[in-house]
Amino acid sequence: MSRELSDTGIQNYLLAFVVISLTYATAYRSGAQINPAVTIALLVTRKIRAKEAALFIACQLLGAALGAAVVYSMFGGTMSASLTLPADNNAIRALILETVMTFTAIYVILTTLHNIKNKIAYAVGLLAIGFAFGFNVILGGNVSGASMNPARSFGPALILWNFGYQWIYWVAPILGGLIASGLSIVLHKDLDIPSAPPPT
């Protein structure tokens, strides 16, 4: 039992560093938007347009499905370990934890990426985002899978056709992102983040 916990802990630490790496790798091109919950939060705070948000989300879900298909082609049924499921079938605990973790991560995103003209501040902001997601993976990996990302949970569920508890990993991240968006709008009106111009 202790060996399993130790292995899981190591996996969570590795996932944390993967999240940090992906944040840096994709931020310059898409703002590290690999998460529908983040995209919805940016839409609510008027940082992107509805058409852009829809395209991002479609690409995120497609990418998640393709990625899961590639993993399945290599590892087969053992990929079931990548399904995000609540420990001990405790849906309420997983729902609350996923909501809180996503809230903290997206709140960091909304409050750190306002100074994109300063390269040093921007780089530090990306690091803060990576660590926010990474530490949440370490914290919640053993409890809920620490998804914080509907697309990340959707991909394996689609390929394995196992949608048990899938609702948690849509409701909680989006709810957490909406709470973070509301708090950011109320507390950080002064941040220099350009809003999306009205449609013409």
Tally the domains of the chain.
Answer: 1
- Asked whether the predicted pLDDT for residue 149 surpasses 80, the reply is yes
Structural domain includes residue 71: yes
Q: For residue 59, count other CB atoms closer than 10 A to its CB.
A: 15
Closest CA to 58 of 83, 27, 36: 36
Q: Which of 179, 131, 177 has its CA nearest to residue 150?
A: 177
Examine residue 154 and state whether it is found in any structural domain, yes or no: yes
Q: Which domain holds residue 57?
A: 2-187
CATH number reported for the structural domain that contains residue 161 in this entry = 1.20.1080.10
Q: Is residue 192 part of a domain?
A: no
Distance of CA 27 to the CA centre of its chain: 14
193 domain-assigned = no
Confidence class for position 4, pLDDT limits 50, 70, 90? very low
Distance in angstroms (rounded) separating the CA atoms of residues 140 and 167: 17
| 196 part of a folded domain | no
Q: How far apart are CA 200 and CA 185, in angstroms?
A: 24
Question: In this model, does residue 164 exceed pLDDT 90?
Answer: no
Residue 54 belongs to a domain: yes
Q: Answer whether 94's CB lies under 8 Å from 168's CB.
A: yes
The answer to whether residues 142 and 93 touch, using CB atoms and an 8 Å cutoff, is no
Please tell me the distance from the alpha carbon of residue 125 to that of residue 178, in angstroms, as a whole number: 20
pLDDT number for residue 9:
56
155's tokens: 């991909």
User: What angle (nearest 5°) sits at the alpha carbon of residue 135, between those of residues 154 and 53?
Assistant: 40
Alpha-carbon distance of 96 to 132, in angstroms, equals: 17
User: Could you tell me which residues come within 8 angstroms of residue 51 by beta carbon, excluding any fewer than 6 positions away?
Assistant: none
pLDDT tens-digit profile of 17-38? 777 777 767 766 666 688 999 9
Average pLDDT over residues 154-172: 93
Q: What is the pTM of this model?
A: 0.81
Q: Is residue 41 part of a domain?
A: yes
Its sign, for the CA torsion 41, 55, 29, 21, is positive
pLDDT at 26: 72
Residue 68 included in any domain: yes
Q: How many helices and strands (H and E) does the chain possess?
A: 7, 0
